[in-house]
Amino acid sequence: MRNKEKLIRYCIYIILITGLAICIAMLFPQVRQLIIELGERIIHKKTSLFQEWMKGLLSLSIGGILFIAFLGYCLLTNSGKTLVHNIKYEIKECLWKIDWRSFVKPFLLMSGIYLLGILTIIRANFLYMDDFVRSISGMRGWHSWSRYVSEFSSIFIHANWNLTDISPLPQLLAIFFLAGSSVLLVYVLNNKKITITGLLASVPLGLSPYMLECLSYRYDAPYMALSILTSITPFLFLVRKKAFVFWSMISLLIMCMTYQAASGIYLLITLILCFNDWNGKRKTNREVFLFFGRAVLSFGMAMAIFKLFLMKPFSTYVSNTMPPLPELFSGIFTNIQIYASTINSDFGFIWKVFIGIILCIFIAKSVSRSAQNKIISFFAAIILFCLLFVFSYGIYLALEHTLFVPRTMYGFGVLLAIISIYIVFEFNKAAKIFALALSWSFFVFAFSYGNALADQMRYANFRASILLHDLSTLYPTKDENKMTIQLKNTIGFTPLVRNTAKHNPVIYRLVPQVLSEENVFPYFYLLNYSNYSSFSMANLAMNMNKGDPYVDFNTLNLPIVLKTYYHTIQSDGKRVLIVFNDGYK
């Protein structure tokens, strides 16, 4: 036995020393360059992929050294071994106490609801934004945003290094993750009780208008949904301190490496649980404060590890850096204002009414069921909702140049799910009616949205066919010196989309303009799909993204070579400007 323990100890020494040597060697630029050259020899071509990976290798190496030191402490010291043993025991104890069979039927129910909800999206067969490029090139590219879990998980999901279109499999995986998230959220918030009304009230988590954009992506959908699930799982270990902190850090790091827009969900659940325990005096103020401190500490440590050792600098249409400290608070306040005004302009009157009533019921329940002073509870509930609203956008609020597209705002849908679950649990029928009404309205909107995608795509294909016919008539032969193309204006939205937007304006931000001067990806696909390659794809990308050098063809006064009801084509034989007319104006 002693010989076996010595052998294991020696093996650990060898592994740790080898890993430490590799990490130290990575600190030298010559070693990193050697790895790049070796990788290029293996794949027999030069690529920027290895260069991209090497950029973050320095900080990763430093993080590796610290991780190896911590691993050595856990495996080789008595106190470290005790810590590992305690965490393992607490995790097993928490998992053993959960009746996993009780999750099966709720999981199947929510999977069925979410599957039915995105049925029209799947039927629309719409290549959404980045899907166009991924379908053509097979590129992944999630590592550029430090989404390493997405990067490597895609290899297993697609069973290949090269991405291919395997829809609707990724979207099915996404709804399974969302179904699990709904079940766990109800379980955590309802004191380990799963009810049908609680599950139905959680529908905004997976079918809010903002989450629908995530589910529209054929390639990204499962990782966006996984970010929600990993933000909820730590709360299964609430009763055990070490297990909760450990699992929180691991889950939050996975969340950061899938889709960082979910960064506020963990804080939302923490706040609502703390409020429940304080408001009902289920725990002492000290116990509530200690739990809140552990959660915040776990969140802060996970964000710090990701920021210092895993996150790669990124700055194009959005940045992942914070403004200088003197400008931080004013920047956050500005982002909160934009966030609130964006939601206000996106949501229709009926949705706002339901949300307003639900908020009033939330405050009423908090006061009526409070074991604290009623007046204090009233103001505490209002302050809580304000904090929940702010944190629903997560760390994006603190970014210098943030993004307010629907896919980054699905934390608001999770917030609505949390409030709805809270009010339907052991309260009056009115709460259930309005919470379920909100869920039903989102469920119905999902069908409208999927049909709008299909209708807009049919119209885009029609306009593209006319355009390509005109281009092939004007330029029937392939020019050796390929022409460069620019687009101006958009083709507009179909009557179906416009009708939907009367009561749900968010549809304008959800349905992409497939042919547009601001949207280059679909046009890449249309030209390649139609096998019309007279135009330079590289120059198209450069011009559409206004790279260097960039010349705005509008300033060149190009001669008009063709003018139709749908578009005007201007060209000097080398440069082509296509000016779209909105056919429905």
Q: In this predicted model, which residue has the larger pLDDT, 374 or 78?
A: 374
Q: What is the pLDDT of residues 402-438, one digit of tens each?
A: 889 999 999 999 999 999 999 998 888 899 999 999 9
The verdict on residue 441 lying in a domain is no
Is residue 435 a part of any domain in this protein? Answer: no
Q: Assess whether 358 and 491 both reside in one domain.
A: no
Residue 199 and residue 136 share a domain: yes
Assess whether 470 and 417 both reside in one domain.
no
| pLDDT tens digit sequence for 251-301 | 999 999 999 999 999 999 999 999 999 999 999 999 999 999 999 999 999
Domain boundary among 427, 449, 482: 427
Q: Is 114 left (phi over 0), alpha (psi -120 to 50) or beta?
A: alpha
| Look-up of token digits 């552990």 | 294
Q: How many other CB atoms sit within 10 Å of the CB of residue 449?
A: 27
> 261 and 228, same structural domain?
yes
Q: Convert 478-515 to b/e letters by CB count within 10 Å (16 or more is b).
A: eeeebbbbbbbbbbbbbebbeebbeebebbbbbbbbbb
Q: Is residue 452 part of a domain?
A: no
**Mean pLDDT taken over the chain:** 86
- Nearest Cα residue to 172 out of 225, 135, 134, 208: 225
From CA 72, how far away is CA 164, in angstroms rounded?
41
Q: What are residue 562's DSSP bridge partners?
A: 569
Do the domain assignments include residue 403? yes
Residues 68 and 115 in one domain: no
The verdict on 463 and 560 lying in the same domain is yes
Tell me the pLDDT tens digit for each residue of 201-259.
999 999 999 999 999 999 999 999 999 999 999 999 998 999 999 999 999 999 999 99
In the numeric block, the tokens 């096998």 are attached to: 531
At residue 386, the 3 state secondary structure works out as: helix
Instruction: Identify whether residues 463 and 420 lie together within a single domain.
Output: no
H or E stretch covering 486: strand 484-488
Look at residue 553 and tell me if it is in a domain: yes
Q: Measured between alpha carbons, how far is 485 from 577 in angstroms, rounded to an integer? A: 6
SS3 161: coil
> Residue 280 carries which side chain, given as an amino acid letter?
G
From CA 412, how far away is CA 424, in angstroms rounded? 19
Calculate the alpha carbon distances from 250 to 202, 256, 430 in Å. Answer: 25, 10, 40
- Total domain count for the chain? 3
- 415 & 541 share domain: no
**Residue 446 located in a structural domain:** no
Indicate whether 378 belongs to any domain. Answer: yes
In the predicted structure, residue 544 carries a pLDDT above the cut 50: no
The parent domain of residue 343 ranges over 99-427
At 103-122, the pLDDT tens digits run: 999 999 999 999 999 999 99
565/461 same-domain check: yes
Domain end residue (candidates: 42, 76, 110) = 76
What pTM was computed for the model?
0.90
Start-to-end CA distance of the chain, whole Å, equals 84
Q: Does 41 fall in a domain?
A: yes
Residues 551, 419 within the same domain: no
Task: Give the integer Cα–Cα distance in Å for 185 and 189.
Answer: 6
User: What whole-number distance in Å separates Cα of residue 421 and Cα of residue 441?
Assistant: 16
Residues 137 and 202 in one domain: yes
| Contact by Cβ (8 Å): 450, 123 | yes
| pLDDT band at residue 12 under the 50/70/90 scheme | confident
Domain co-membership, 70 together with 104: no
